[in-house]
Structures are given as C-alpha cells and as structure tokens.
C-alpha cells in the first residue's frame, strides 16, 4: 500500500532503503502505520519533516499543522502533533539520524521536554489565575458597579494559601501526566484540574472584592437561590451561574 500511494519514482527507492535499514538495526517495519483511518505515508512524512529541518526543528517551531496539511490529513484531529511525532520517532527518526544527521537523540529529548513544559504553562497560565471580576463585565447584568481590577495576587494571606494550593496541585498533576498516561487520559486530567483550580481562583477573587469594599455581599447559586457564601454552581469551565447581592441590589449572570 505504501508503494502504491503515488507514481513518484523516488518512493520505491526510499521505502526499500528505509525498510532495509530498519531490518538491519533490529526494528523491522512489520505493520503499516495507520492514522485517521488511512495509511500514514511514511515517504511524504519524511520528506515534509526533513524539508523543514528535521524532527527537532518541527517540534521547536511547532509547525505540525503544516505537516498535517501536507499529508492531506483532517485538520480536526486533536492529537495530530503527538501522533505524528510518535510515529515519526518509531519509523523514521533513526533513519533521519543515519542519513541526514539533522539532530541527535539528546536534542530530540530536550525539544520534547521543552515542548511539554511550555504546554503546561499555557494550560495553567495567567488567564486561569489572574481572573478578575472587573475583567469580565459581561457576566453581570445592569445596574453595574465599577470595581477595580483585582487579581488573586492582591489578596494577601488568602493569596499565600491559594498560591501554595495551586503549586501543590500543579506539581501533583505534572507527576501524573509525566507518568506515561495516554493522551486521552492526560487531556481528561488536565481539564478536571483546570476546572477545580478555576473554582478556587474565582472564590478567592470574590473574597478579595468583599475585603476591599465596605458593603454586604451575598453569593448564591442559580439553582437553589439560598444565600450561602461562595456557593458557586458550575457547568464546565466556561459556564458559571451565580447571583450576587451587593447592598440590597442583586446581580445575576
């Protein structure tokens, strides 16, 4: 099937050389790689990656989308970068090192580690922990009371407790993700942790607002309407329904 994907005369020469090389090093290609329910074209994948400078360059420059398009794979595949990197490392990277010497295994590992750290920073970045009620005026209906842009970092003792809890939670999650969990489970763990930490951040910011204004604030969920302090009702990370009573005026959103 790999030989018959197109009429490129260099395809047979490449595949013969690749399979012979993999056989000699003791890692023969005994199975056709599949991605998105179709044969993964190793010849085109190798040509696209090496034209960009090799696997390490593709990882560092984060240009997997270009590789995906070049392979005519669906752009909707959420784990395309991870899957292509894994398949390339298994079937093609030793051949790249032997034939082109574009990078070393040590450089590859460093690129993967750097990409993983950056991914964690993006997942749990400033948007999560610097949430401010004043930064999302659309959540509150009229009438509106102007509030200063308070962040978790302005809360004092509460900030110290939250920062410690966040650091412990992130370290625990990092250990779980680095323990070899499959991509699907990693994504579930990340989403679950994000939702829990978002709730903590929101609660502490509401406490910060209360501590900076001489007013009575009551928070209740939309479901039971009971006036209980910081009783948030969440429907996923992007949806939080609540009502806030400030000096007798009820704001809902």
Give the predicted TM-score (pTM) of the model. Answer: 0.50
Which residues, 6+ apart, have CB-to-CB distance to 68 below 8 Å? 75, 77, 80, 81, 84
Could you give the 3-state DSSP secondary structure of residue 29? coil
How do the domains of the chain map onto residue ranges?
Answer: 9-121
The CATH code that applies to domain 9-121 is 1.10.150.60
Give the Cβ contact number of residue 126 at 10 Å. 9
Of 1, 4, 84, the closest CA to residue 46 belongs to 84
Q: What is the pLDDT along the chain (253 residues), one digit of tens a residue?
A: 999 999 899 999 999 999 999 999 999 999 989 998 899 999 999 999 999 999 999 999 999 999 999 999 987 887 899 999 999 999 999 999 999 999 999 999 999 998 888 766 665 554 444 444 444 443 334 444 444 444 444 445 555 555 566 666 666 666 655 555 555 555 665 666 666 666 666 666 666 555 555 555 555 544 444 444 444 444 445 566 777 878 778 888 8
Nearest to 93 by CA among 109, 80, 79: 109
Integer Cα distance of 5 and 229 in angstroms: 64
State the pLDDT at residue 236: 44
Bond prior to 143 in cis (omega within 30° of 0): yes
pLDDT at 136: 43
Q: Quickly count: other Cβ atoms within 10 Å of residue 136's Cβ.
A: 11
| Cβ–Cβ < 8 Å for 245, 217 | yes
Strand extents, DSSP E, the chain:
34-35, 38-39, 217-221, 233-234, 240-246, 249-252
Give the per-residue pLDDT at 98: 95
What pLDDT score does 78 carry?
78
> What pLDDT, on the 0 to 100 scale, is given for residue 130?
45
């Amino acid at each position: 099937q790999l030989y018959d994907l197109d009429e490129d005369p260099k395809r047979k020469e490449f595949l013969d050389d690749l399979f012979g090389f993999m056989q000699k090093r003791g890692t023969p290609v005994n199975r056709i790689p599949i991605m998105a329910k179709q044969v993964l074209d190793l010849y085109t994948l190798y040509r696209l990656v090496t034209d960009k400078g090799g696997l390490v360059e593709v990882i560092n420059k984060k240009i997997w989308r270009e590789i995906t398009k070049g392979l005519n794979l669906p752009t909707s595949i959420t784990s395309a970068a991870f899957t292509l990197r894994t398949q390339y490392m298994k079937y093609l990277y030793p051949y790249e090192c032997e034939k082109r010497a574009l990078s070393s295994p040590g450089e590859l590992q460093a690129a993967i580690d750097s990409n993983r750290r950056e991914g964690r920073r993006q997942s749990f970045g400033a948007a999560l922990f610097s949430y401010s009620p004043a930064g999302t005026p659309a959540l509150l209906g009229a009438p509106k009371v102007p509030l200063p842009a308070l962040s978790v970092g302005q809360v004092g003792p509460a900030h110290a407790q939250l920062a410690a809890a966040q650091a412990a939670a992130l370290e625990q999650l990092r250990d779980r993700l680095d323990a070899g969990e499959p991509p699907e489970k990693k994504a579930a763990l990340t989403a679950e942790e994000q939702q829990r930490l978002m709730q903590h951040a929101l609660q502490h910011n509401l406490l910060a607002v209360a501590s900076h204004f001489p007013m009575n604030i009551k928070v209740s969920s939309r479901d039971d309407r009971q006036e209980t302090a910081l009783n948030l009702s969440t429907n996923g990370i992007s949806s939080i329904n609540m009502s806030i009573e400030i000096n007798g005026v009820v704001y809902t959103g």
